[in-house]
A and B are shown apart, each in its own frame.
Chain A
Amino acid sequence: GAVVSQHPSRVICKSGTSVKIECRSLDFQATTMFWYRQFPKQSLMLMATSNEGSKATYEQGVEKDKFLINHASLTLSTLTVTSAHPEDSSFYICSARDPGGPSYEQYFGPGTRLTVT
């Protein structure tokens, strides 16, 4: 099946700094990718839809200036957590659909664990 990778897998940063997380579709092109976050022992919450060549669409309650999304190519979307604070510590996961595969199937990256100290 299609593969989605994320980098880094873990990151620790100091409060006030910015962190960039990459999501790549390795063997297919994705015009749309999705970003989720997951707190410990909780489910995944959709943060935003990343659209190649256009602005991301954010879910209600997600600060677009806080979580900057850039989808500059058909295989790469980035999520930048700006001025990170401890409450931003979470597990961030991206997903993408393979347009060449079953229309319903989504592939998830392995996730990035962000810890803000």
Chain B
Amino acid sequence: SQELEQSPQSLIVQEGKNLTINCTSSKTLYGLYWYKQKYGEGLIFLMMLQKGGEEKSHEKITAKLDEKKQQSSLHITASQPSHAGIYLCGVSNSGNTGKLIFGQGTTLQVKP
């Protein structure tokens, strides 16, 4: 079965600093999702990458997909306290049934 590993597991940054979270898959990626979760709440969809080399941005968050490396990175520029939370990467299985498998998550704290 496919597994996703995220790094780092947790991150504390000073407000205004940039940061990167990585997500590495054990198998070929057929689509990579990024979600954000605040503790005890549901998931907020950030973006989905489908093709190797694809890059998407939303506000100060940019995600890239490196299909050859079976890896995706999430980059936050000029972090703010509102960026704090748990970031989860997820993949859909090859049959596109809608099932998502998630990485273990990266907890981000942003110090004002």
Contact = CB atoms under 8 A, between A and B. Distances in A.
Q: Give the interface size class of chain A.
A: 20 to 34
A1 B35 CA distance: 15
Contacts of B101: 46
Contacts, number: 58
Contacts of B107: 41
Interface in B56-87: none
Given A91-B40, A93-B42, A111-B41, A104 B100 contact: no
A43 B103 contact: yes
B29 interface: no
Interface in A81-117: 91, 93, 95, 97, 103-111, 113
B104 interface: yes
A97 B98 CA distance: 7
Contacts of B96: 103
A106 to B, nearest CB: 7
B108 interface: no
B7 interface: no
Contact of B45 (A42, A49, A107): A107
Contacts of A105: 45, 48
B97 A42 contact: no
B88 A44 contact: yes
Interface of A: 1, 4, 6, 32, 34, 41-46, 49, 91, 93, 95, 97, 103-111, 113
11 contacts: A1-B45, A6-B42, A32-B97, A32-B98, A43-B88, A91-B40, A95-B43, A103-B96, A104-B33, A110-B41, A111-B41
Given A32-B97, A34-B100, 7 more contacts: A43-B103, A44-B43, A44-B102, A46-B100, A104-B33, A105-B48, A107-B45
